[in-house]
Structure 1
């Protein structure tokens, strides 16, 4: 048996506010729910069981961990006083063995012969009876991570690992460099450029300590997709000490006559201990600002207790803030207009949700402002606007520059509030002209509800927006001067990859397209957006364009590649200026490739109605002819 490594956020069981996703969404939304037991007369994570109703058996999914291990993950079970797992290997042969499961357990690993198979089901029991789940089948057989010729896109630029970074570039408080002994730890490996999809490996010494990594895409029917572990390093039970970790990344051109640049490596150290001066805990339910000390045993109740309404406070500098379950309000600093200043050497800049808990960070008073800090991190938290917040809509804005800014495994919801006309490029994340923001990574996040623009970027150098989901969302234009795209990469933005995102059931209210790049090289800006890679995205953006590029008032520098996207609308070029090295290739776009200038390279695109089913998967003859070579699906 094993405790869950929190690979995404933990959501409530189905039937208690949790979300159910179809298997075809595996590449962008995978959640783990723990088994719920009868506690104090009610089911943990579900409605009370007055009169004792039969339990709800979990659904089970299987995933390959390595050649001899299959992981069966549970989702949605509740109301049982006991849980029993039954497994057999190989699948379909012999009798089942049983194993007792515990409340709060989220998966069970079955050991099989090399490349073997197994069946697994769960029996949920209480005084009202026993209910069995459906039988899940898993395989440990390896799927080749390298695709056939013509099924992957050649590298335009060498891979760059944007997160994590080496010790010499980062601070000791960075989320990938320190954690608490015994608490499940994970960190994303964020890669831009290169030839996707990648394979990831962790060094043998780290693997021997119990670390493991989501090495490659998994098979989902006739195609490949990223599950919740892909591109992510885990350690379920970190042991005390200083640990040197090396991760290697291989792209599709590895050993295909290419240079060694088909491999990228990163090495850093992770310190694991229980030193109280390295973190501060906030528990909005049971914390106490008067008697608390900021430890897990005696947490504070509010963020305001940490900064004491002063942006220059250093009492808790260079620590991580760990949030516990419940809603924590962002109480800003009076001397920063109610905002929380993320500055070097003052208040903490790392916000981590406690593993296995739903931790909500609500913008009650202001927003987070980058003022020169490095290693800013929001991880495993639900981020939303409080209803009382008013009309502003930034969550994070760089004002005087910031380095290594990360949003990983967060739920971002309902941050739009009212009209933002004249509010300076209103967006959830806004990198301003006040200073360069470097290495911005937004990965593994789930965006839903009433939204506005997601990212507006000036002076952004390096980063990724990938493996995110935007669904059941209304993306509303809030300032007519900034309505071109929900992800808008503007002046002096370069070296950025938008990859493998899934946009579905998204409705627009005035925003021209979901993603776009453009800008000008006049008016004080050095260049327009350059070295931008937009690939493998599924974009169903009702009523507007999927990709909208707006190059105006001058020529951008070079390198805009829009390839292998599946678009329910069109890919459009706005204004009359043409970037050099402008490529729109092998996309599938219902609305076509429109208004492209003569200098744009357009090859291999397929267009017209009937390309996709409701999940934006190629269908019919298009699937037969183009699966894995046109559009976002990988095969």
Structure 2
């Protein structure tokens, strides 16, 4: 089994503290969310401009369709493959988001350290979700494991499908030195498949270890003789550690000294990972990550501002600022437990944990923000420009106070401007014990402005946004600033979401928004009513009543009619 992460521990603790149900029927409800990205054998070059997509002609709808998942004492009931009517057909082809074959040789997806637990998520954009993941050739990597299917269990007349921390994650508990050519396959509900090639090198070269309690900056920074601080990495002359990967143990100050406050991927490592089982915490007092190169990764740790964090430049309040030439960003299994400013938290200009700036080169491909947790003082998570073939999946807010924001970043997950395209926002959960203060100037949980070919699917969003132009989901379908003609062939899909209690949708004829550009299907909106307009094509949505409990699970009175048919929960009747 995979070692527990800080995120998993925190989810359990907060769930008990909030006295909420720890086991929901939602596919994104996990102890520690997990999904991922994969590698393919087609090398498209460093820009990643040519996506690797599933070939419908290669689909094998009957392959492993009846395979069971071992959940302990016996096989799980039913099948991973859902009957027609209980899943949604693919809106976009399956495209590999992470890891990518064109990734740098030093990327985490291509490197492991002997004897140290290694994992990557397998992230797929588009497709008919949920997927099945399989190892078809381990390349001799004995013990390599993948979370194949959603967990299934019987629940009051239904077989309910739920995520686990392992679902969609590839891991190796004790890697053995050597080089391994691994092949995976991802299958969607319609039988389309993606073959995924992963070339993994296990060795000690290119790894650094930081342990403030057991380390010493006079050490070489190895597993057995770690550094004591990140300051030692800053001090290395001539960019000596630029293409390295860093494991962190315990509480690690990110910026212990003036002049070394920011971690810049242009001159320092681009891979930062929590050491397995060490409850790694990376704490910032002033600085942030400056991402200006490809293949940036942060994973398996807690990242927070210090209690006395002070924003020293007076604006643009971020934990990560992502600039040009930044294809293949991975944010996986990170617990963002404190994002706040001193002395203020609002009106600082495009404030967000992760700011994906508008790149001069025109686009940013293959961004995966998956399996992360937001809690405590928090705010806008992403403000994103120019994303392509990217995924925001199984992220969760639990006990978060969304106080840090401004009117320029008005949604927690904000797909902003510069024409984002081919993006999946899937199975995210903002439902339990969160605070949504109006003073923060946020007005949506998931938001979109000036984007197309985007899907919002299987999300559970319970917010207090009920004033004008606010909502759990807030969509501006177009803006004159795009300079782009919108057609019914470049839609935005909103399907199988469970929402409370308002949705805000805006568009304008002057923006050349064609009829049917926004497509709403099989969603459930508690209390509120669905907006109507010529550019909205709506089908089989529910609204106007209270259908869910506080955790956004269907109430008993509505289960027989709607569970597994509408809203975010995935289930099949036992007798069906």
Q: TM-score, normalised by structure 1?
A: 0.74
1:335-388 deviations in Å (ceiling 9; x for gaps): 8xx422112xx32100011011100011122111111x1111001010101122
Choose the corresponding residue for 1:159, options 77, 94, 104.
94
Q: Counterparts of 2:187 and 2:378 in 1: how far apart (Å)?
A: 36
Q: Counterparts of 1:448 and 1:202 in 2: how far apart (Å)?
A: 34
Shift of 1:324: 1.0
> Which residue matches 1:240?
177
Choose the corresponding residue for 2:188, options 251, 254, 258.
251
The yes-or-no answer on 1:6 pairing with 2:7 is no
The yes-or-no answer on 1:353 pairing with 2:285 is no
Aligned length: 505
User: Per the alignment, do residues 587 and 304 of structure 1 end up closer, same or farther by CA in structure 2, a change over 3 Å counting?
Assistant: same
> Which residue matches 1:101?
none
Q: Which moved more, 1:410-419 or 1:181-190?
A: 410-419
Q: Counterparts of 1:67 and 1:352 in 2: how far apart (Å)?
A: 33
1:566-620 deviations in Å (ceiling 9; x for gaps): 0011222135357443111110001434433212111110012220122211123
Shift of 1:70: 4.7
Find the structure with the greater CA-based Rg: 1
> Which residue matches 1:54?
none
Shift of 1:416: 2.2
User: Per the alignment, do residues 472 and 235 of structure 1 end up closer, same or farther by CA in structure 2, a change over 3 Å counting?
Assistant: same
> Which residue matches 1:47?
none
Choose the corresponding residue for 2:294, options 365, 374, 389.
374
Q: How does 1:169-318 map to 2 (within 5 A)?
A: 169-206=102-139, 209-220=142-153, 221=155, 222=158, 223-254=160-191, 262-273=192-203, 275=204, 277-289=205-217, 291-308=218-235, 313-318=238-243
Q: TM-score, normalised by structure 2?
A: 0.82
> Which residue matches 1:439?
366
Checking the alignment, whether the CA contact within 8 Å between 1:485 and 1:548 is kept in structure 2 is no
> Which residue matches 2:460?
538
Task: Indicate the SS of the match to 2:81.
Answer: coil
> Which residue matches 2:519?
583
Choose the corresponding residue for 1:416, options 331, 334, 340.
340
Choose the corresponding residue for 1:319, options 229, 244, 248.
244
The yes-or-no answer on 1:500 pairing with 2:427 is yes
Choose the corresponding residue for 1:606, options 528, 532, 542.
542
Shift of 1:67: 6.0
The yes-or-no answer on 1:509 pairing with 2:437 is yes
> Which residue matches 1:559?
491
RCO higher in structure (CA 8 A, sep ≥6): 2
- 5+ residue gaps, structure 2: 34-66, 572-576
> Which residue matches 2:285?
364
Shift of 1:12: 5.4
CA-based RMSD: 2.7
1:199-236 deviations in Å (ceiling 9; x for gaps): 11112434872212111111242321111111111211
User: Per the alignment, do residues 7 and 173 of structure 1 end up closer, same or farther by CA in structure 2, a change over 3 Å counting?
Assistant: farther
Checking the alignment, whether the CA contact within 8 Å between 2:11 and 2:398 is kept in structure 1 is no
Q: How does 1:53-92 map to 2 (within 5 A)?
A: 70-71=71-72
User: Per the alignment, do residues 141 and 294 of structure 1 end up closer, same or farther by CA in structure 2, a change over 3 Å counting?
Assistant: same
Checking the alignment, whether the CA contact within 8 Å between 1:571 and 1:594 is kept in structure 2 is yes
Shift of 1:268: 2.0
Checking the alignment, whether the CA contact within 8 Å between 1:309 and 1:333 is kept in structure 2 is no
User: Per the alignment, do residues 145 and 299 of structure 1 end up closer, same or farther by CA in structure 2, a change over 3 Å counting?
Assistant: same
